[in-house]
Amino acid sequence: MTKKLWGGRFKQDTDALVNRFNASIEFDHRLYAYDIRGSIAHCRMLAAQGIIKDEESTRIVEALGKIQRELDHGEFSFDDDYEDIHGLMEKALVQKIGALGEKVHTGRSRNDQVSLDVRLYVRDASEGVIDRIKENQRALVRLAEDHLDVIMPGYTHLQRAQPVLLAHHLLAYHEMFRRDRERFQGSLERVNVMPLGSAALAGSTFDLDREMVARELGFEQISRNSMDAVSDRDFVLEFLFNASVLMMHMSRLSEELVIWSSQEYGFVRISDAFCTGSSIMPQKKNPDLPELIRGKTGRVYGHLMSLLTTMKGLPLTYNKDMQEDKEALFDAFDTVHICLEVMCRLLGEITFNRERLNAAIHSGFLVATDLADYLVRKGVTFRQAHEIVGKMVLFAMEQKKELHELTLSDMKGFARQIDEDVYEWLDPLLSPARRNSPGGTGPDMVGKEIDEAKRELGMGNEEGPEGS
């Protein structure tokens, strides 16, 4: 049994079951590179402050480098003999350079050490997610640009509402992803706080140069309160919240892809390479990938609620409950990362059925609002126009006709202000172009939004969905 870092106060060996239950090495081993980076920065600072000798620091740093290379090549076993990654690092160091390795822990605790490691991890994870979100935004912008001439039904309550550009619909998700990016980017300011030097909870008796360590590790500031620093997991919760909102947006997009690819809609086709079949029904082509993204959203939500519940009753400062942050964090990142990768590839493997989309905008009275606006332009108040058009829709339904199929005489029976020019307002193909106010579905506005999105995403003058 490996000797514990904290074993001096104990008379009995730890029970084997306690070792298994207490250990976090099974999952926190993925922090090893961050733990080594932190140890190297800490060690160099100790030497700069005269707390250890320069030659001791050099030997420790060289040994840590060798340990990292061995870990990179899978030469370590992550078993319960090591309680956590910090214990493994220190034991490995001692095996290489003897008692000198024990000096690396001077002036720090596992409490500020783990906080440092997790902050470094969340910083990298956030930047990785931001990059993946950008890839999805680019995929959406390419699709929007390629389909700027396609009109589709816009929906409210899953009922056909008004004609909109397909590009406008796609860019709605670009906007959602833009906010997601901003959330992760904004959170980095709060992640990028260096806790090392807080020790267990009260700071250190050694003259530590925390600013030096912060500079070496790329932190913009150091923590201002040692008790808060070791017990703060707000930055993990914020990552999980950001991830949950991002997954919600991907789930909404997935839901639309599932619906649109159904035979009832037939708006979109997903390539065979990104679908699966049925074990019993030979004709089936199932949209499993968007369904899985939709399903995994609940998994990420669960991690957020789990950690919120864990943290809600903890007194200051560190408590072992906080070990539960890592599995939630790691799995949430892994889930979000693969879902973003799949979604980006999926968006490149869909084609839109222009004929079905065109047919859909010509039924369901999508131009009713346009007709009401037409009447307002003829001097009718909007509320009166709304009621008149509602009656016209009811009449057309009873006649099994669309509004544009009514005769001028029929329409004048509802409002004498209606004239021959009304038929231009009843053409769904002309409807989007009337909505060129900022943020609207008008082609001019949507074209400008595509250009702005391309500038923002550094897309240049790409052509087609295969652009980089």
Instruction: Select from 256, 244, 347 the least CA-distant residue to 296.
Output: 244
What was the pLDDT predicted at 2?
55
- Bridge partners of residue 352, in order along the sequence: 268
DSSP per-residue letters across 95-160: HHHGGGGGGGGTT--HHHHHHHHHHHHHHHHHHHHHHHHHHHHHHHHHHHHHTTT-EEEEEETTEE
What was the pLDDT predicted at 81?
66
Cα 368 from Cα 391, distance rounded (Å): 11
Catalytic residue list:
157, 278
Cα 430 from Cα 442, distance rounded (Å): 10
Q: Which domains does the chain have, with CATH numbers?
A: 7-106 (1.10.275.10), 111-149+166-199+232-353 (1.20.200.10), 360-456 (1.10.40.30)
**What one-letter code names the amino acid at 20?**
R
pLDDT bracket for residue 375 (50, 70, 90):
very high
> 220 is written with which tokens?
């913009």
- pLDDT one-digit tens code per residue, 203-239: 999 999 999 999 999 999 999 999 999 999 999 999 9
pLDDT at 185 over 70: yes
Question: How confident is the model over 327-351, as a mean pLDDT?
Answer: 97
Strand pairing report for 193-194 and 151-156 = unpaired
pLDDT bracket for residue 78 (50, 70, 90):
confident
- pLDDT one-digit tens code per residue, 414-461: 999 999 999 999 999 999 999 999 999 999 999 999 999 999 999 976
Neighbours of 6 (CB within 10 A): 10
| Residue length of the chain | 468
**What one-letter code names the amino acid at 198?**
S
Least confident interval from 3-7, 275-279, 397-401: 3-7
Question: How confident is the model over 159-179, as a mean pLDDT?
Answer: 98
Instruction: Please give the model's pTM, rounded to 2 decimal places.
Output: 0.92
Q: What sign has the CA pseudo-torsion 190, 193, 196, 202? A: negative
